[in-house]
Amino acid sequence: MTQNGITADDLLKFSFLQDPQLSPDGNWLVYVKRSINEEKKYQSSLYMMDLQTKEEFPFTKKDDKAVQPRFSPEGHTILFTSNRSGTQQIWKIASNGGEAEQLTYFKNGAADPIWSPDGKQVLCTVPLAENEVLLTEDDSEDDSKEAKPYVTSRLKYKADGEGLLNETHKHLILIDLDSGKGTKLTTGSYDHQQATFSPDGKRIAFVANRSKDPDYELISDIYELTLEDNQFTKLTDSDGVFTYPNYSPDGTTLSLLGHRREYKGATLTRVWTLDRATGNLTCLTGDWDVEANDVAINDMGTGVQGKGAVWSTENDALYVQASEKGYTNLYHVSLNKRIKTIVSGKRQIYAFSLDQQQKTAVIGVSDHETPGDFSLVSMADGKEEKLTYANQEWLQEKVLSVPEEINFEARDGSKLHGWVMKPIGYQEGTKYPLIVEIHGGPHAMYSHAFMHEFQVLAEKGYGVLYINPRGSHGYGQAFVDAVRGDYGGNDYHDIMDAVDYATKTCDWIDKDRLGVTGGSYGGFMTNWIVGHTNRFKAAVTQRSITNWLSFYGVSDIGYFFTEWELKADLIQDPDTLWKHSPLRYVKNVETPLLILHSEKDHRCPIEQGEQFYVALKQQQKPTRLVRFPEANHNLSRSGDPSLRISRLNEMIEWFEQYL
């Protein structure tokens, strides 16, 4: 039926490139290459590249999970995190190769290694209970496996990807490399993270929410710790969400990313500076209506912890990623608030690393035809040289569907933007079914990045339509905030207007064979759509929300997300929650609906899918429920490879049955 496009099983062939790190002299690149082994399990190892010869070679073993590589200040040693000893610990290895040496032996493991400027100390994070001392793996403790009840008095007692929280928090540990001794720097039932050293190595800045009850006060502050006397100073006023502190080269100022929650979770991330002497916070991008962050969606697992806003060596500007109109690029933001594009293009720049002199940068790039590769960039003129071709060899044998951009107006005149993909093997004059894809968030962004799922649908003979409806990032603060309090309103109309536009302008679309799918918020919208129109002949809802009343109490974020997004809460206004619940309209559903849900999803728990399934089944409506064991909310992006393939195959079989 089709040519040689990408299949669901081709997931097993991909290499996923993450976390590029340039050596201080700019001559070497170390990065994480993630792949799927013969047992269909993820493995990750470090790779090194000589940037003079462009020779690439594996640097650590493939049979363990090595991540977070970090060059020492002089470039002779690399720290990384690995589970090769059985628990996640920090390891070190000479940058010219050799055997890796285990650095930490903490009973609870360690992660997030950071070098001190003189290379004599390492900072890391270790999970510890409030009064728990720092123990090594050899320290004996009662490890009884006897079944015990789980007891909590916390409001937030579970988290997606973690399960029931075990009352530990991330604490900062300082390791002296000469003695190997680790010193606990932080205390209390708080998470301390995103730490960074001052240029003189005498202070550490970090992010924490040390409010009276962090479960209720959803803020993050910047703190500074003086190492000589272990004194804490709180640098922000608990009135916002501030993250990723970075010291200026002269040590007087911190750069931050964040906002003051003016629009709750829909507030644009801005670039800030914090004067350490005066405490003054200055927003550098207040007049730039752009999200200063990478929020582009792809299903290639390229996301890693960001760098924040990185200072120029001249102390007068910052380098930062930002997302706009479906692309994420790298920008130069000066202290006098001038913004210049460093590297542009219709793509997602998902990572970047600068050498010590900032003459070159390495960027991680994903576009419609590139799952993820690295390029070397000259900071002087922006010229690029591609460094890796991670998937090129086998992708050359495949036919890809290249998305075409569309721009159109919604019924109220709002400008909308998206893409449409033709099926593989497209022939002029033939009619094809169309699948509408709806992203989650809702405050995220479909982009010019590669999407395996969309290519799989195109290979099966489907066109694919995807847009950024209001609520999405990339189109300014008013647009991203427009969905709040209006779920199922104009966001629904945006999706339907996109279908109208596509079917009018693409004569190859068969109007009688339309399908729709989406996950998380996209699952909510899929449920909403089938309860409000019979236009689609088949639908697949994934990790969805069906009932805001129960979501409020069962989701790890329900108690605040519901109020933020619907502008109503269970206690004061349950009627509004029910009004926006797809379950309320389940009697209207005629569209055959496949329900896909992960059993360990704590973000949109499986009871949400179960409620919709039983309500449909009781009415003898065409439906099917597929449960994915041991999977969480991120199944489609980072879940077990076998389950990811099963998920895609379930979708395809459903659409083939009804379209």
From CA 375, how far away is CA 383, in angstroms rounded?
10
List, for residues 170-202, the tens digit of each pLDDT value: 999 999 999 989 999 999 999 999 999 999 999
Domain residue limits at 123: 104-139+150-239
CATH number at residue 367: 2.120.10.30
Nearest residue to 555 (alpha-carbon basis) of 602, 596, 520, 612: 602
Catalytic residues: 520, 633
CATH number at residue 556: 3.40.50.1820
Give the model's pLDDT for residue 141.
Answer: 57
* Domain annotation covers residue 124: yes
Domain boundary, last residue among 221, 239, 257: 239
Same domain membership, residue 232 and residue 218 = yes
Across the strands, what pairs with 57?
48
At residue 22, the 3 state secondary structure works out as strand
Domain boundary, last residue among 184, 206, 239: 239
Residue 216 burial class via C-beta count within 10 angstroms: exposed 0-12, middle 13-18, buried 19 and up: exposed
Same domain membership, residue 92 and residue 108 = no
Query: How many other CB atoms are found less than 10 A from the CB of residue 656?
Result: 13
Locate the DSSP E strands across 551-613: 593-598
What spatial distance separates the first Cα and last Cα of the chain, rounded to whole Å? 15
Q: Which residues contact 526 (CB under 8 A, 6 or more apart)?
A: 438, 516, 517, 518, 539, 540, 541, 542, 544
Nearest residue to 403 (alpha-carbon basis) of 329, 467, 473, 350: 467
Give the helix, strand, coil percentages of the chain, each rounded to 5. Answer: 20, 35, 45
Locate the DSSP E strands across 5-100: 16-22, 28-36, 42-50, 55-58, 66-71, 77-82, 89-94
Give the model's pLDDT for residue 136.
Answer: 82
Walking along the chain (659 residues) 10 residues at a time, the average pLDDT comes out as: 83 97 97 95 96 95 88 98 95 94 96 98 95 78 77 95 94 95 95 98 98 94 97 96 98 98 98 96 98 95 82 97 97 98 95 96 97 96 95 96 98 98 97 98 97 98 98 98 98 98 98 98 98 98 98 98 97 97 98 98 98 98 98 96 98 98
Give the model's pLDDT for residue 1.
Answer: 41
Same domain membership, residue 124 and residue 94 = no
Indicate the number of domains in the chain.
4
Helices marked H in 380-451 = 392-395
From CA 219, how far away is CA 215, in angstroms rounded?
10
Query: How many other CB atoms are found less than 10 A from the CB of residue 575?
Result: 8
- Taking CA atoms, 508 is separated from 1, 416, 455, 515, in Å, by 16, 22, 18, 15
Contact 49, 55 (CB under 8 A): yes
* Domain annotation covers residue 425: yes
| Tokens standing for residue 650 | 């379930």
Same domain membership, residue 403 and residue 327 = no
- Strand 221-226 to 203-208 pairing: antiparallel
DSSP string of 318-384?
EEEEEEETTEEEEEEEETTS-EEEEE--SSEEEEEEE-TTSSEEEEEEEETTEEEEEEEEETTT--E
- Strand 432-438 to 463-467 pairing: parallel
Helices marked H in 378-489 = 392-395, 452-459, 477-481
List, for residues 538-595, the tens digit of each pLDDT value: 999 999 999 999 999 999 999 999 999 999 999 999 999 999 999 999 999 999 999 9
* Domain annotation covers residue 273: yes
Same domain membership, residue 478 and residue 387 = no
Across the strands, what pairs with 405?
419
Same domain membership, residue 583 and residue 488 = yes
* Domain annotation covers residue 2: no
Phi-psi region of 358 (alpha: psi -120 to 50; beta: other; left: phi over 0): left
HSE on the CB side for 247, CA within 13 Å? 21
Give the model's pLDDT for residue 144.
Answer: 64
Taking the C-alpha atoms of 135, 141, 146 and 150 in order, what is their torsion angle to the nearest 10 degrees? Answer: -40
From CA 294, how far away is CA 352, in angstroms rounded?
11
Same domain membership, residue 169 and residue 47 = no
From CA 447, how far away is CA 441, in angstroms rounded?
14
Q: Which residues contact 293 (CB under 8 A, 6 or more apart)?
A: 257, 269, 306, 321, 322, 323
Taking the C-alpha atoms of 252, 258, 259 and 265 in order, what is their torsion angle to the nearest 10 degrees? Answer: -170
Nearest residue to 499 (alpha-carbon basis) of 444, 586, 422, 437: 437
Q: Which residue has the tokens 């710790």?
A: 225
| Tokens standing for residue 282 | 């200055």
* Domain annotation covers residue 595: yes
From CA 17, how far away is CA 441, in angstroms rounded?
24
* Domain annotation covers residue 213: yes
Among positive and negative, which fits the CA dihedral 100, 81, 203, 283? positive
Same domain membership, residue 319 and residue 230 = no
Phi-psi region of 499 (alpha: psi -120 to 50; beta: other; left: phi over 0): alpha
Same domain membership, residue 57 and residue 181 = no
Give the model's pLDDT for residue 458.
Answer: 98
Same domain membership, residue 110 and residue 77 = no
From CA 515, how far away is CA 511, in angstroms rounded?
10
Helices marked H in 168-291 = none
From CA 516, how far away is CA 514, in angstroms rounded?
7
Same domain membership, residue 388 and residue 406 = no
Domain boundary, last residue among 369, 392, 415: 392
From CA 622, how far away is CA 609, in angstroms rounded?
15
* Domain annotation covers residue 6: no
From CA 650, how far away is CA 37, in angstroms rounded?
23
Length of the chain: 659
* Domain annotation covers residue 599: yes
Same domain membership, residue 185 and residue 154 = yes
- Taking CA atoms, 273 is separated from 144, 201, 312, 315, 316, in Å, by 49, 20, 13, 12, 11
